[in-house]
């Protein structure tokens, strides 16, 4: 899950709580509570078949957006069901925390990625790769005939997702391809090829809530893998500003969040300056670069809302085309 340096008033939190409880009272079936694994070390958890805690957190925020935010910025009819049969406590806890900005960011980045994907499909792309897919449900509601979807993630996280799909009775379509990659020992390009991906055909990639957790070297290698695809390919990804670009309150909130996720074994590593991204992406092999900051994202996706749901200034997206 990307940065949590977002604040809201107690009144807003109370409104979210009331709206969630009201939805439940109207007969909404909420899914299963995600296990609390605070303090568990990531390597041991993944080796044991557990899932990334940040992937779980992002899934909860996507589901909560479907319940308490109207109109929705991002429609995902499977988000709640994919959490499981008893997740009401996790959703209620998320509704009680003052983090509408984080929820807005997670909803926006999914919507923006799928908007850019639709543009790629119009350009003739028939392959979509989700890097760090987590519980993203796009592959199971893919509206684009002929589009093959490749989900790249750690093997343990993918096992968790398969269990979630089976428990929810959601069938994986034939266009959905799981690509398990342990980045410590396996190459992304080789694993994609082994699972039927064609580098000689254009493709679109998304990388949401991932950059902050990987090294600069790993980011550079990933950019070059994408840039090796056929002309017409593209990539969209979320990223986070360095601390010196934040105000005092946002910086303090980030430090608290960084300490919390570091204890869970998923520390934030990489922060990017947007002004330096175009030249970096051009050097990696991309020809066109588009940046979306929080202000532009609010104009595009949150204008005219009466509930105050908005992005914080640190919300950032980049899209690049070959």
Quick one: which of 66, 19, 4, 9 has its CA closest to 260? 4
Q: What digits encode the pLDDT tens for the residues 165-224?
A: 999 999 999 999 999 998 767 899 999 999 999 999 999 999 999 999 999 999 999 999
Quick one: which of 311, 318, 238, 317 has its CA closest to 5? 311
Would you state the pLDDT for residue 256?
A: 87
Question: Higher model confidence: residue 15 or residue 71?
Answer: 71
Mean pLDDT, all residues of the chain:
85
The stretch 132-139 carries a mean pLDDT of 96
Q: What digits encode the pLDDT tens for the residues 221-241?
A: 999 999 999 999 999 999 999
Quick one: which of 129, 267, 152 has its CA closest to 205? 129
Please determine, looking at this structure, whether the domain spanning 1-322 carries the CATH number 3.40.50.150: yes
Minimum mean pLDDT range among 32-36, 86-90, 114-118, 262-266: 32-36
Per-residue pLDDT band at 25 (split at 50, 70, 90): very low
| 10-48: b (≥16 Cβ within 10 Å) or e | eeebebbeebbeebeeeeeebbbbbeeeeebebeebbee
Domain boundaries, the chain: 1-322
Would you state the pLDDT for residue 46?
A: 45
**Helix or strand (DSSP H, E) at 128:** strand 127-131
Distance CA 153, CA 52 (A): 10
Q: Kindly give the residue spans of alpha helices, DSSP state H, lying in the chain.
A: 10-25, 42-47, 53-68, 79-83, 88-96, 100-122, 155-168, 188-194, 216-227, 248-263, 277-284, 294-301
Stated pTM of the model: 0.85
Q: Is the pLDDT of residue 278 over 90?
A: yes
Distance CA 122, CA 124 (A): 5
Q: What digits encode the pLDDT tens for the residues 148-158?
A: 999 999 999 99
């Amino acid at each position: 899950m990307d940065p949590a340096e977002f604040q809201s008033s107690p009144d807003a939190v109370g409104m979210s709580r009331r709206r969630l409880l009201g939805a439940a009272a109207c007969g909404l079936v909420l899914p299963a509570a995600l296990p609390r694994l605070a303090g568990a070390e990531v390597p041991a958890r993944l080796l044991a078949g557990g899932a990334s805690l940040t992937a779980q957190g992002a899934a909860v925020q996507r589901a909560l957006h479907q319940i308490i935010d109207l109109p929705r910025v991002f429609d995902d009819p499977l988000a709640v069901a994919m959490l499981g049969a008893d997740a009401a406590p996790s959703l209620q806890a998320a509704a009680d925390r003052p983090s509408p900005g984080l929820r807005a960011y997670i909803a926006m980045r999914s919507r923006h990625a799928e908007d850019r994907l639709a543009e790629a499909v119009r350009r003739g792309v028939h392959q979509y790769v989700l890097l760090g897919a987590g519980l993203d449900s796009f592959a199971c509601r893919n509206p684009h005939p002929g589009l093959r979807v490749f989900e790249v993630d750690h093997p343990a996280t993918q096992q968790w997702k398969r269990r979630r799909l089976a428990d929810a009775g959601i069938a994986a379509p034939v266009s959905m391809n799981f690509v398990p990659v342990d980045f410590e020992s396996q190459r992304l390009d080789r694993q994609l090829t082994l699972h039927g991906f064609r580098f000689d055909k254009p493709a679109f990639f998304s990388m949401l809530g991932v950059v902050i957790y990987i090294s600069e070297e790993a980011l550079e290698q990933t950019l070059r893998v994408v840039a090796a695809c056929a002309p017409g390919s593209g990539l969209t990804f979320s990223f986070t500003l360095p601390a010196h670009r934040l105000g005092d309150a946002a910086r303090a909130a980030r430090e608290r969040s960084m300490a919390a996720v570091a204890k869970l074994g998923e520390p934030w590593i990489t922060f990017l300056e947007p002004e330096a991204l175009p030249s970096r992406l051009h050097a990696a092999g991309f020809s066109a670069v588009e940046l979306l900051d929080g202000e532009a994202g609010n104009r595009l996706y949150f204008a005219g809302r009466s509930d105050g749901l908005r992005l914080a200034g640190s919300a950032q997206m980049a899209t690049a085309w070959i």
